[in-house]
């Protein structure tokens, strides 16, 4: 289907999109919508599941990712696919995470309509809640975007600064802003039959050309890739046991990075179990051998274990870093490690739902003897 546009009224992009979403809800083509919307205190924006269009006041561009939306969809659909269609508004990183969860049998996309939003980046929770530029963070980031300036960069989380790709892939419908004159219009790009079915009754205008958008997407992807390459190059030096131990010095073993990770899907983490408890004599023997050793003793092991489990599916959303109460810049190790590991297996998390996770794929060259080419 050719891309459509929404005409922006009075320069209010957020309101225009809300009217579109309301129409969607009222058309009955979706039973409910999962959208980011301000909580009553107005301080935070969280995903809400809405079936009453009168209560809809979504803030799809709010620069905040308080929790993994992919994980929320997993919770709703893992045991049974939804019978009623649900429209879910997601950023690109959360679509990637959702695709990974589907591969891991942790979510079911039947009757889930993915409405992707071009992502302008997100702020840390602190920056968002205590925003003091005299306007809301959403207004601020939209204006910065329209002016093509970089005034919002200083607020962006590090994961967003070096984002793999802010343009949604695998969305049924995409709300596009890159390469679009936001004063006049917002792009509605429909990529799937399911998406077409949802908007078929809505009266949307055709767009004249998407060339500008294609150009803009190419530019933003190139920019992000360049930044990411530099970031990876710079952070690669955090390597080896000594450097990693120092890197995780501030870790208080709260395992919050694991709790907020959209991919980490175990019901109970091995590191939360009693597997590492042991008789005192073993600890004493270790103390005897080394003279001293740091307690708790499994924090680095935990991080390496978590990395080992998750790195191939890491979509680089940065929620682990945002969740760390000790402000450990986790992306500094996770992004370079993800880059290396995913390249090694030629794996692209979140890109293609049909691409199998490397764990279950056998390649002939994996059978080579050591030293054999």
Partner 1 sequence: MLGESYMRRIGVFVCHCGVNIAQNVDVDALTTYASTLDGVVVAKQYKYMCSDVGATLIKGSIKEHKLDGVVVAACSPRMHEHTFREVVNDGGVNPYQLEIVNIREQCSWIHSDRKKATEKAKFLVRSGVAKAKLLEPLQTSTLKVTPNALVIGGGIAGIQASLDLANDGFKVYLVEREPSIGGRMSQLDKTFPTLDCSSCILTPKMMEVANHQNIELFTYAEVADIEGSIGNYTVKVRKKPRYVDIDKCTGCGDCATACRLKDRIASEFDMGMGKRGAAYMPFPQAVPLKYTIDAEHCLFITRGKCGDKPACREACAQKAIDFDQKEEIVDLKVGAIVVATGYDLLNPESLYEYGYANSPDVITTLELERLISSSGPTKGEILRLSDQQEPKSVTFILCIGSRDETQCTWCCRIGCMSALKHVYLLREKLGDDVEINVCYTDIRSYGKGYEEFYRNVRGLKTNMFRGRPSEVCNMGDHQKIDVFDTTTNKLFEIKTDMVVLVPALVPRADAGDFARLLHLTLSGDGFFLEAHPKLRPMDTFVNGIFIAGCCQGPKDIQDTVSQASGAASRAATILSKEELEIDPLIAVVDEEVCTGCGICVEICPYEARILNEKTKIAEVNDALCTGCGACIAACPSNASIHRNFTKKQLLNMVDDII
SS3 373: coil
Helices 331-344 and 211-235 sit at what angle, rounded to 10 degrees? 110
Mode of pairing for the β-strands spanning 86-90 and 112-117: parallel
291 contacts partner 1 (rule: CB under 8 A): no
d(CA 94, CA 157): 15
Q: Which of 2, 84, 206, 277 is in the footprint of partner 1 by CB under 8 A?
A: 277
Q: Which residues between 123 and 182 bind partner 1 (CB under 8 A)?
A: none
Closest CB to partner 1 among 105 and 229? 105
Q: Which of 9, 43, 193, 282 binds partner 1 (CB under 8 A)?
A: 282
- Element (DSSP H or E) covering residue 36: strand 32-38
Pick the stretch among 24-32, 109-117, 249-257, 353-361 that binds partner 1 (CB under 8 A): 353-361
Q: Does 267 bind partner 1 (CB under 8 A)?
A: yes
- The stretch near partner 1 (CB under 8 A) out of 100-108, 113-121, 185-193, 245-253 is 100-108
Beta strand spans in 94-179 (E): 112-117, 173-176
> Out of 231, 265, 334, 347, which residue is the one contacting partner 1 (CB under 8 A)?
265
Least separation in angstroms between CB 274 and partner 1 = 8
Is 279 a binding residue for partner 1 by CB under 8 A? The answer is: yes
Q: Look up tokens 């993994």; give the residue.
A: 68
For residues 174 and 168, give the distance between their C-alpha atoms in angstroms, rounded to a whole number. 7
Q: Which of 110, 276, 284, 346 binds partner 1 (CB under 8 A)?
A: 276
23-53 burial by CB neighbour count: b if 16+ within 10 A, else e?
Answer: bbbeeebbebbbbbbbeeeeeebebbebeeb
**Which residue's entry shows tokens 């109460």?**
325
Measured from the CB atom, the residue of 230 and 344 that comes closer to partner 1 is 344
Q: Is 10 in the site for partner 1 (CB under 8 A)?
A: no
List contacts with partner 1 (CB under 8 A).
78-79, 104-106, 265-268, 270, 273-279, 281-282, 286, 289, 309, 356-357, 359-360
């Amino acid at each position: 289907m050719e891309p459509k546009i929404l005409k922006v009224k009075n320069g209010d992009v957020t309101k225009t999109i809300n009217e579109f979403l309301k129409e969607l809800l009222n058309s009955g083509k979706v039973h409910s919508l999962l959208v980011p919307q301000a909580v009553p205190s107005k301080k935070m924006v969280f995903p809400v599941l809405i079936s009453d269009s009168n209560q809809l006041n979504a803030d799809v561009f709010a620069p905040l990712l308080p929790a993994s939306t992919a994980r929320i969809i997993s919770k709703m659909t893992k045991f049974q696919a939804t019978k009623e269609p649900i429209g879910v508004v997601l950023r690109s990183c959360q679509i990637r995470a959702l695709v990974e969860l589907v591969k891991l049998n942790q979510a079911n996309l039947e009757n889930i309509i993915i409405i992707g939003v071009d992502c302008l980046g997100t702020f840390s929770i602190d920056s968002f809640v205590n925003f003091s530029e005299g306007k809301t963070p959403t207004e601020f980031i939209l204006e910065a975007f329209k002016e093509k300036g970089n005034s919002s960069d200083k607020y962006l989380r590090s994961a967003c600064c070096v984002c793999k790709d802010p343009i949604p892939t695998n969305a049924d419908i995409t709300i596009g802003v890159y390469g679009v004159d936001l004063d006049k219009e917002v792009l509605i790009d429909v990529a799937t039959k399911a998406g077409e079915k949802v908007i078929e009754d809505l009266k949307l205008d055709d767009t004249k050309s998407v060339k500008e958008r294609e150009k803009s997407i190419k530019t933003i992807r190139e920019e992000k890739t360049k930044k990411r390459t530099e970031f990876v190059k710079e952070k690669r030096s955090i390597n080896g046991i000594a450097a990693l131990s120092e890197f995780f010095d501030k870790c208080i073993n709260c395992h919050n990075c694991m709790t907020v990770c959209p991919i980490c899907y175990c019901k109970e983490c091995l590191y939360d179990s009693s597997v590492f408890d042991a008789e005192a004599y073993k600890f004493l023997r270790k103390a005897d051998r080394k003279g001293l050793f740091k307690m708790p003793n499994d924090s680095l092991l935990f991080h390496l274990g978590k990395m080992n489990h998750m790195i191939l599916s890491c979509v680089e959303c940065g929620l682990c870093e945002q969740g760390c109460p000790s402000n450990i810049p986790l992306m500094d190790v996770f992004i370079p490690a993800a880059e290396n590991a995913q390249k090694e297996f030629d794996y692209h998390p979140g890109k293609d739902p049909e691409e199998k996770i490397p764990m279950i794929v056998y390649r002939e060259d994996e059978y080579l003897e050591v030293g054999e080419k």
